[in-house]
């Protein structure tokens, strides 16, 4: 198993100028009349001189701009770094300056990411509130990520990530800051571990090794893991997961990850799509469409890591992740278009396109999760290419019950992840009617993200008081960054949804306490 490398994080409240480190980072925003230095601990004269020369230096304050300058004589650091924070951050009167948490998270993440090769960094970005200090810390942990597990030669472009980050904040001695920094570390580390799982090539990460990694990653936490192997899946009738896994020489698994503290105030279930490689099956994808399909277990990775983070933070919430693990391959034993499978619980599905496999494994997982009558089910999946057509590659879709959908959006906004609510138009349900079975696995050719969600809705269980509250998170685009890195987001796996799921759990506790 690949471990997320550890970043050392601490905080100081004063003497930033005396602080011995390799680089001091201060922020530059894009003001109405050009670049503006954000609040910083430089000596006023030096700050003024620097502010006056920003234009001449070509510094704009744009997002992801990172400029290194020689350290000033008044500083105990070799390098002074100017990190762009973008537009949203400054008002003209610096006393009333409002700094957006996510802008700070991105500026910190971008600076730390681009300072790879430097060992110790002081982040002297605005951090006068707990939320701001935590955002700076969280950005730093996520920015200090790299995936070098399969690389032999340490090329010049693969410098070591920053090891030591100190956050400059007046709250350094506030007892609440320790908890905030701990939260930032836990969340950042969980995001990074999610990235590691998703980045791992499918030659090494398949259902059985994913299950083993889940065990290994939860070893020191109060977590119970139950692995349902192919024999038990067969015995209990998990026809969705089995059908998808049938074409592969590597058998499927359903993994249940439980955190059940004694004083739980709520009971959450996360169901994650864990297709360790999606070739499309017999409805084979073209080569270009297959290239990124190791990403197709990103939902399961996020569900797993969210439960681990909730446990590590000791939230009084019962949280269970259901990892629906299968490899979707074409072969003589693969399921065929027009096969009918019986999903867990008895409903039949006509499989007309074996590339619409995510909803089949998720159907089993949602039914299994429903049996325990949780207060809410959130499912997370790289479910449809249509998600990217609708929302692009950086905004996830959230669908389902109106209240849960709104709560997920709220949690995501606070966490700094982009989610957007999408509808379930009534007329689309009928497009999933099959001539031979209870349902078919593809619907209308338009609105593919929505029909996939409507398909999943059919499997959400009932309790005495009606349907279990549920939302579906389609993270197909945002799970994987095919472009260059930006902010705290690296190339390839992004670790999306962990922050939203943990924030959701925190909100539930806040609401019910």
**Contact set with Zn ion (CB under 5 A):** 275, 278, 296, 358
Interface of this chain with ligand BES, residues 357 to 416, rule: CB under 6 A: 357-358, 382, 384-386
Catalytic residue among 106, 189, 294, 359: 359
Residue number with CB closer to Mn ion (312 or 355): 355
* Calpha distance 394→125 (Å, rounded): 25
350 binds ligand BES, rule: CB under 6 A: no
Which of ligand BES, Zn ion, Mn ion, none does residue 386 bind (CB under 5 to 8 Å by kind)?
ligand BES
* Calpha distance 201→27 (Å, rounded): 37
278 binds Mn ion, rule: CB under 5 A: yes
| Closest residue to Mn ion: CB criterion | 355
CB-CB contact of 27 with 42 (8 Å): no
Q: 113 an active-site residue? A: no
Tell me which DSSP letter residue 489 carries: B
Q: 414 an active-site residue? A: no
Q: Which stretch binds Mn ion (CB under 5 A): 156-164, 354-362, 365-373, 375-383?
A: 354-362
Burial class (CB in 10 A: 0-12, 13-18, 19+), 347: middle
Nearest to 137 by CA among 160, 90, 171: 171
448 binds ligand BES, rule: CB under 6 A: yes
CB of 357 to Mn ion, least distance (A): 5
Distant-in-sequence, close-in-space partners of 476: CB < 8 Å, separation ≥ 6: 381, 382, 383, 384, 385, 387, 388
Q: Which stretch binds ligand BES (CB under 6 A): 54-62, 89-97, 334-342, 354-362?
A: 354-362
Interface of this chain with ligand BES, residues 468 to 487, rule: CB under 6 A: 476
31 binds ligand BES, rule: CB under 6 A: no
Residue number with CB closer to ligand BES (409 or 440): 440
* Calpha distance 118→411 (Å, rounded): 34
Nearest to 281 by CA among 238, 243, 251, 311: 243
Q: Which stretch binds ligand BES (CB under 6 A): 20-28, 49-57, 105-113, 349-357?
A: 349-357
CB of 328 to Zn ion, least distance (A): 6
355 binds ligand BES, rule: CB under 6 A: yes
65 binds Mn ion, rule: CB under 5 A: no
Nearest to 472 by CA among 388, 368, 359: 359
Residues 39, 327, 355, 417: which binds Mn ion (CB under 5 A)? 355
Interface of this chain with ligand BES, residues 277 to 336, rule: CB under 6 A: 278, 296
CB of 501 to Mn ion, least distance (A): 23
Burial pattern 255-290, b for ≥16 Cβ within 10 A else e, equals: bbbbbeeeeebbbbbbbbbbbbbbbbbbbebeeeee
Structure tokens at 204: 């090494």
Nearest to 272 by CA among 221, 337, 197: 197
Distant-in-sequence, close-in-space partners of 492: CB < 8 Å, separation ≥ 6: 147, 195, 198, 199, 480, 481, 482
Catalytic residue among 285, 347, 414, 429: 285
Q: Which residues bind ligand BES (CB under 6 A)?
A: 278, 296, 353, 355-358, 382, 384-386, 442, 448, 476
Q: Which residues are catalytic?
A: 285, 359
């Amino acid at each position: 198993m690949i471990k997320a490398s550890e970043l050392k994080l601490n905080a100081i409240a004063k003497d930033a100028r005396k602080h011995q480190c390799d680089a001091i980072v201060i922020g530059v925003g894009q003001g109405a009349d050009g670049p503006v230095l954000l609040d910083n601990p430089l000596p006023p004269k030096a700050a003024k001189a620097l502010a006056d020369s920003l234009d001449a230096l070509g510094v704009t304050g744009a997002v992801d701009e990172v400029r290194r300058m020689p350290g000033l004589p008044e500083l105990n650091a070799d390098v002074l770094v100017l990190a762009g924070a973008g537009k949203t951050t400054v008002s003209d009167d610096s006393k009333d300056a409002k700094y957006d948490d996510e802008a700070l998270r991105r500026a910190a993440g971008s600076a730390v990411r681009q300072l790879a090769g430097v060992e110790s960094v002081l982040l002297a970005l605005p951090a006068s509130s707990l939320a701001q200090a935590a955002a700076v810390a969280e950005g730093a942990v996520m920015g200090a990520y790299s995936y070098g597990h399969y690389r032999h030669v340490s090329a010049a472009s693969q410098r070591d990530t920053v090891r030591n980050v100190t956050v400059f904040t007046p709250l350094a001695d506030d007892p609440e800051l320790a908890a905030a920094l701990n939260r930032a570390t836990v969340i950042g580390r969980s995001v990074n571990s999610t990235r590691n799982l998703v980045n791992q090539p499918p030659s090494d990460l398949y259902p059985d090794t994913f299950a083993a990694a889940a065990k290994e990653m939860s070893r020191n936490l109060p977590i119970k893991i139950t692995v349902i192997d192919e024999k038990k899946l067969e015995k209990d009738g998990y026809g969705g997961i089995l059908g998808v896994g049938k074409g592969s020489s590597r058998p499927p698994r359903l993994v249940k990850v439980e955190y059940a503290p004694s004083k739980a105030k709520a009971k959450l279930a996360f169901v994650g799509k864990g297709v360790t490689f999606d070739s499309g099956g017999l409805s084979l994808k073209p080569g270009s469409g297959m290239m990124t399909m190791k990403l197709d277990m990103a939902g399961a990775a996020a569900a797993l890591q969210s439960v681990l983070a909730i446990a590590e933070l000791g939230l009084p919430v019962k949280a269970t992740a259901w990892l629906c693990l299968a490899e979707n391959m074409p072969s003589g034993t693969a399921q065929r278009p027009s096969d009918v499978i019986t999903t867990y619980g008895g409903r039949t599905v006509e499989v007309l396109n074996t590339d619409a496999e995510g909803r089949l494994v998720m159907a089993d997982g949602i039914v299994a999760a429903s049996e325990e009558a949780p207060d809410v089910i959130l499912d997370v999946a790289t479910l449809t290419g249509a998600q990217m057509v609708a929302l692009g590659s950086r905004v996830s879709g959230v669908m389902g019950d109106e209240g849960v959908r709104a709560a997920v959006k709220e949690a995501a906004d606070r966490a700094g992840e982009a989610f957007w609510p999408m509808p379930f138009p009534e007329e689309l349900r009928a497009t999933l009617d099959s001539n031979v079975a209870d349902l078919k696995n593809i619907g209308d050719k338009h609105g593919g993200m929505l029909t996939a969600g409507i398909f999943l809705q059919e499997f959400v269980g009932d309790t005495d008081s009606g349907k279990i509250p549920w939302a579906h998170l389609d993270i197909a685009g945002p799970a994987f960054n095919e472009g260059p890195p930006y902010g705290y987001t690296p190339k390839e796996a992004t670790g999306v949804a962990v922050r939203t799921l943990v924030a959701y759990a925190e909100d539930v506790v806040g609401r019910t306490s």
